[in-house]
């Protein structure tokens, strides 16, 4: 990360401030560069996840547990899988936690989850957004149109 920051600093310094069009003292130069980096970081973090079928990865497994997390999200844990999967705001949109536990726990499911990258988790995340779920070949939930 330090190498990347230093490299970015050099590029911004040479492009923006080495030309004699802008004369700024060195301390202000550092502040401007940091502001540009912070703005770019937040702009990248606000890009929404593409939840199309073309941008989804399919995985199958047996549901080990279900829980509520976040803002009314339904969280799935599969056996032999360290990743957790969630349906965004599922409990606000027709799912009930106790009923879902009886429907899903111990059953084989096929999940589609959205591929995505964010600067808040640059090396990946262990919690994935479910775009479609099927139980025994029957579609139970989908975000696809």
When comparing pLDDT for 57 and 124, which is higher? 57
Give the per-residue pLDDT at 107: 94
Give all domains of the chain, ordered by start, each with its CATH number: 2-45 (no CATH), 53-142 (2.40.50.140)
The pTM (predicted TM-score) of the whole model is: 0.71
Q: Could you tell me if 75 and 128 are in contact, meaning their C-beta atoms sit under 8 angstroms apart? A: no
Q: At what angle do helices 26-45 and 2-12 cross, to 10 degrees?
A: 120
Give the per-residue pLDDT at 46: 82
CB contact set of 113 (below 8 Å; sequence gap of 6+): 56, 57, 59, 85, 128, 129, 130, 131
pLDDT in tens, 66-121: 999 988 999 999 999 999 999 989 999 889 999 999 999 999 999 999 988 777 67
pLDDT in tens, 26-43: 777 788 888 888 888 888
């Amino acid at each position: 990360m330090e190498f990347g920051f230093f490299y970015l600093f050099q590029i911004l310094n040479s492009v923006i401030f080495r030309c004699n069009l802008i004369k700024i003292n060195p301390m202000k130069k550092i502040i401007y560069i940091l502001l540009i980096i912070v703005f770019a970081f937040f702009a990248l973090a606000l890009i929404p996840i593409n939840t199309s079928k073309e941008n989804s990865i399919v995985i199958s497994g047996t549901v080990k547990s279900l829980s509520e997390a976040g803002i009314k999200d339904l969280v799935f844990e599969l056996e032999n899988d360290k990743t957790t999967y969630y349906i965004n705001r599922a409990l606000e949109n027709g799912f009930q936690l106790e009923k879902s536990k009886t429907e899903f726990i111990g059953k084989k499911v096929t999940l589609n989850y959205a591929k995505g990258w964010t600067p808040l988790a640059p090396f990946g995340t262990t919690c994935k957004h479910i775009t479609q779920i099927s139980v025994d070949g029957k579609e139970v939930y989908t975000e696809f149109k």
